Structure 1
Amino acid sequence: MPNANAPIWYDEMPTPIGCLRLVADAQGVREIWFETGRHKKTPDPSWIRAAEPLAAVRRQLDEYFAGDRQCFDLRLHPVGTPFQLEVWHELGRIPYGVTISYADLARRIGQPLAVRAVGAANGRNPLPIVLPCHRVIGSDGSLTGFGGGLPTKRFLLSMEDRVAHGDLFAMP
């Protein structure tokens, strides 16, 4: 059982897609929030604003946006249902620069008929970018919902495509 009195830290960082709010506890990174988008949040008053507990997250996200990091090596502590955790774990296995469909994701977790439930869990992913829900697209190849907005999803996919194909100087 988690300790209700355990500290939760948060900090903010500027990125090419806007300010991100990072949230962690002693067990790992809990959440990454977009400044804009569908799920705007504010920190709980009991949380502590502190840069140091989130330094590794900030460094790895900076490396990702610079095109120098394709895999994250962080202790993660997302909070969700067992089904959500299963979907989020599978998100972390989608390779950099690769997209899959919601149906593919449902098949990967052994529940091919749960496409809508997988979509809902994907939409509640508390660790976007690190658990790359932006790499999940419609079966027809279309970009579908994303907590940070479709322009952000488009930017992330374009950036990854350029890095994966060695075209760092092309504009998204």
Structure 2
Amino acid sequence: MTTASPVAGAPRAPASRVPVPDSRAPVFLRRIDSPLGRIELVSDGEAIVSLAIECDGALPFEDIPEQTAPVLDVAVTQLREYFAGTRTDFDVPVLLAGTAFQQTIWRELARMPFGTVTSYGALGHATGRPTAGRAVGGAVGANPVPIIVPCHRVLATSGRITGFSAGEGIATKAWLLDHEGIEHRL
């Protein structure tokens, strides 16, 4: 079962969707340049529902024209502040669709303070699934709003980066960790 619930920002009921001709096409979309490459933010008009970091020069909705919403403007401002080193947390509303287990993991990630790190095993323990390492890794990797929901702050117990599903993968994760002053191993 797939559900949608707020993970960060002000709690709210799921927004009704505005119909669009292509069901994969977002209703509201903004792109910004960043030190990681271009970032594409998608919103339902009330919350951020996805964030993609450019990979191999492409973004998921490259062919869709931008259409902004106030929540996207707030997210863009907060991301620019984060990259400039003046913001350490995000308070933009986020609405993530996923399984109950994924949402439990994403809520734990959203609580992690800037500059801190956890391990996949610690996330499993914190969510009552101490032996679910692969499932935890899958949930972390399925996070549709990286950076704002800081999945980059999860490392192997040894402090090693074991993967990253956003942008250019491990190089993107290493940049984010370095930006936050988090020690890690490749």
- In structure 2, the partner of 1:72 is 90
Render the CA deviation track for 1:28-69: whole Å, top value 9, x for unaligned: 1000001117x9623696xx6223431000000000001111
Q: Which runs of 5+ in 2 are unaligned?
A: 1-13, 21-26
Change (3 A) 1:26 1:51: closer
TM-score between both structures, scaled by the size of structure 1:
0.84
Deviates more, 1:1-10 or 1:53-62: 1-10
Residues 1:21 and 2:51 aligned together: no
Do 1:22 and 1:32's aligned partners in 2 also have CA atoms closer than 8 Å? yes
SS of 1:161's partner is coil
In structure 2, what is the Cα distance between the partners aligned to 1:31 and 1:70?
Answer: 20
Pick from 149, 153, 158: which aligns with 1:135?
153
Instruction: Give the 5 Å matches for 1:72-91.
Output: 72-91=90-109
Do 1:13 and 1:58's aligned partners in 2 also have CA atoms closer than 8 Å? yes
Do 2:43 and 2:50's aligned partners in 1 also have CA atoms closer than 8 Å? yes
TM-score between both structures, scaled by the size of structure 2:
0.78
- In structure 2, the partner of 1:97 is 115
- In structure 1, the partner of 2:173 is 153
Paired residue type of 2:89:
C
Query: Aligned residues: percent identity?
Result: 38
- In structure 2, the partner of 1:5 is 18
Residue 144 of structure 1: how far off its partner (Å): 1.4
As a proportion of its length, which structure holds more strand? 2
Q: Which runs of 4+ in 1 moved over 6 A?
A: none
Paired residue type of 2:38:
C
Residue 93 of structure 1: how far off its partner (Å): 1.1
- In structure 2, the partner of 1:33 is 52
Deviates more, 1:68-77 or 1:7-16: 7-16
In structure 2, what is the Cα distance between the partners aligned to 1:63 and 1:4?
Answer: 29
Do 2:15 and 2:46's aligned partners in 1 also have CA atoms closer than 8 Å? no
SS of 2:37's partner is coil
Aligned length: 159
Residue 6 of structure 1: how far off its partner (Å): 5.2
Render the CA deviation track for 1:101-139: whole Å, top value 9, x for unaligned: 100111111211111101001001001000100000011
SS of 1:77's partner is strand
* Root-mean-square deviation over aligned CA pairs: 2.2
